Structure 1
Amino acid sequence: MTNDQQERIERSDGRDGEGRVGKQPRAVVARRMWGVVEILLFALIVAVAWQIYSSIAVWNDDPKRNTAFLINGNEQARNSRIANIPFDLSHVTVPANEIRDGGPGKDGIPALSDPNFLEAADAYYLQGEDRVIGFVSGDEARAYPLKILMYHEIVNDRIGDVPLAVTYCPLCDSAMVFDRRTPLGERAFGVSGLLYNSNVLMYDRSDMAESLWSQLQTKGISGPASKLTLKTLPLELTTWQDWRSRHPMTKVLSTDGRYYGRDPYAGYYDRPQLMFPVQPMSDKLPTKARVLGVWTANTSRAYPESIFSKERTRIEEQIDGKKIVINFDPQSRSLRVVQADEGVQWLYSLWFAWYAFHPETSVVE
């Protein structure tokens, strides 16, 4: 072995020409030290995250512990922050002390307005299994991917003469589309940063008092909009592959160059714990079971995804004397209302959220 060859061996692995461990190069030592630091930092982050999660998970464990948790100061802190928010709560229709500070603050989750759309073939950021809210108006179909909506929660859009708000609350996995025309005029909505029953409260950007509106209650709960009802519009919650196969000319919400690759709610749907208190609760179904919630002026009914299968792909029945037909696609595991009489409305959500707003609901088995 030449001297040059021996020197290269010593530089590459820290051993001398006879296999003995020699002095480690500085770069190797530095990398190893940095690796130890990274491990320690990761362990610290995990410990802090677990501490936060443990505090949050207390909400769903036991009502007595929940009450103690509130009395010990956290509720007072929330109330003091709510007292200073720029929303009119003078005519609030829900218990004010049950309105929660969700954390990000007003517009901390930025609603989209005047959104841009792509042709289906250009939506390279989507995979076939990605879930989308699908909406059709006249001859135009549009898809709103949840991987974008979980970062914005509201899209103020317009198709022809119809101004619409496409809404999604990740905490409830609840999807709804509203007509933005109200008795107060056409409205535009933002994300208030507040929650009621763990569900997003939208605020009215068109109103000087900035009324609050509940997504799952489909009503205004404060300010000039108090007790006013939003008109819901038919929607689907399915996969991109399924939607595109049935609507090949669909437009799809553009990312506009933003990065939406990371799911900030990863793991949340696999655990029964909630991040915020909800009342009332029911153990009729698993807390986070996916349901299609259907209601009329007098009746509400839940259709759990779990009752459908390859053998049971269609339900046709009457609700409050009105006909509804629901199809199940086993491949996309999605429920679709294919026929509904006037006066039948529906939404998609997790069981706990549907029950909290519709405790009188029946459940289809």
Structure 2
Amino acid sequence: MRLAALAAAVLISASAATADPGAWKTEWPDTDFTRTNIANWSEIMSGGPPKDGIPALSSPAFKRVANERRIGDREPVITVEIDGADPRAYPIRYLTWHEIVNDSVGGVPVAVTFCPLCNSGITFDRRVGGRTLTFGVSGKLRNSDMVMYDMETESWWQQAIGTGIVGHYTGTELRQLPTWMESWAEFKARNPDGLVMAEPDYPRAYGRNPYTNYDSSQRPFLYNGEMPPHGIAPLARVVKVGARAWPVERLATAGEISEDGLTLSWRAGQASALDSQSIAKGRDVGTIRVKDAQGRDVPHDVMFAFAFHAFHPDGTWMLK
């Protein structure tokens, strides 16, 4: 489905959905809507699919790198490397259609997440206060970003910042892990004995991008907030570390930037998941790594500029 057709279908659904907890109670009987940090319920929009209409995955199957034949070399994967476990690759060709994978790596329960509308790919530790949560896709959006929910309390969580926004866990922050997005070829070369998530058993067009040409659009999808400052295009990619954002265009030109105690590097070879209909044929957006002064990987995200500005309106733009 082309983005314009998808947008039309979803906008009809979104406009029909009332931003009112009273209207949501049937679908969310266990969510405590009296606890929230949302100032105005109109910030919450329907993304089209209902609760679990985009099915999150749990405990997926894996195969060895040498046995994988479907994935194109330039296709993006989210890489999770945790001491004591084989490195794991979570292909965006699957996350595009499922958005959340609940897994356990090296004894660490993780949620590997990807919001296509924000290009946000983040991995969280699922443990909160001694409890391990299991996450699903609510079907709701805020600032065009996925609202997750936990199946234990049906609290709502903002994916782009890993923070509870409605219910029992309002204000609680998930711990972000230092994972990154890279090409399948890069993962294979570094981890020839690593693991890759196997294709899920769902009737989905895996490998196809349902948001064709989205990252070339002039405006974000289902977003009514402010556009980013400094003349930065809304769908330009930025590297987010905390409340700082480095434009990827600047990083790609420099190749490497060392400032504020971090070293950010850019290397060609990774396809955009939001460009051509076939993810493997997407234009090159490069792979980014972020390390601290000791050479350790740093939690970060490569997201669209509008989303960074929406969730960090007072954030710092690292422009030069």
TM-score range, shorter chain: 0.7 to 0.9
Shift of 1:256: 3.8
CA distance in 1, matches of 2:118, 2:58: 23
- Aligned equivalent of 2:237: 290
- Aligned equivalent of 1:143: 89
Q: Which amino acid aligns with 1:306?
A: E
CA distance in 1, matches of 2:56, 2:269: 32
**Structure 1 residues 276 and 121: CA distance shift in structure 2, 3 A:** same
Shift of 1:101: 1.2
**Structure 1 residues 247 and 77: CA distance shift in structure 2, 3 A:** same
- Aligned equivalent of 2:278: none
Whether the aligned pair in 2 keeps the contact of 1:156 and 1:188 (CA below 8 Å) is yes
Shift of 1:217: 2.3
**Structure 1 residues 221 and 121: CA distance shift in structure 2, 3 A:** same
- Aligned equivalent of 1:205: 151
- Aligned equivalent of 1:23: none
TM-score by length of 2: 0.83
Q: Is there any run of 5+ residues in structure 1 with no aligned partner, and where?
A: 1-44, 57-68
CA distance in 2, matches of 1:114, 1:219: 23
More helix by share: 1
Whether the aligned pair in 1 keeps the contact of 2:74 and 2:269 (CA below 8 Å) is no
- Aligned equivalent of 1:126: 71
CA distance in 1, matches of 2:134, 2:6: 38
Q: How does 1:68-87 map to 2 (within 5 A)?
A: 74=15, 77-79=18-20, 81-82=23-24, 84-86=26-28, 87=31
1:219 to 163, 187, 191: 163
Whether the aligned pair in 1 keeps the contact of 2:289 and 2:297 (CA below 8 Å) is no
Shift of 1:99: 1.0
CA RMSD of aligned residues (A): 2.7
SS in 2 for 1:238: strand
Specify the structure having the higher radius of gyration (Cα).
1
CA distance in 2, matches of 1:339, 1:104: 40
182-191 or 83-92, larger mean C-alpha shift:
83-92
Deviations 1:125-152 (A, max 9, x none): 1001111111100152111111100110
- Aligned equivalent of 1:65: none
2:306 to 352, 355, 363: 352
1:325 to 245, 263, 287: 263
2:257 to 301, 311, 315: 315
Q: How many residues align?
A: 293
Q: Is there any run of 5+ residues in structure 2 with no aligned partner, and where?
A: 271-285
Q: How does 1:271-290 map to 2 (within 5 A)?
A: 271-284=217-230, 285-290=232-237
SS in 2 for 1:151: helix
SS in 1 for 2:93: helix
**Structure 1 residues 218 and 171: CA distance shift in structure 2, 3 A:** same
CA distance in 1, matches of 2:307, 2:93: 21
TM-score by length of 1: 0.74
- Aligned equivalent of 2:137: 191
Shift of 1:292: 1.0
CA distance in 2, matches of 1:147, 1:349: 17
Q: Structure 1 residue 260 and structure 2 residue 206: aligned?
A: yes
- Aligned equivalent of 2:292: 339
Higher RCO (C-alpha 8 Å, min separation 6):
2
- Aligned equivalent of 2:50: 105
CA distance in 1, matches of 2:198, 2:17: 41
- Aligned equivalent of 1:52: 8
Whether the aligned pair in 2 keeps the contact of 1:82 and 1:101 (CA below 8 Å) is no
CA distance in 1, matches of 2:196, 2:77: 9
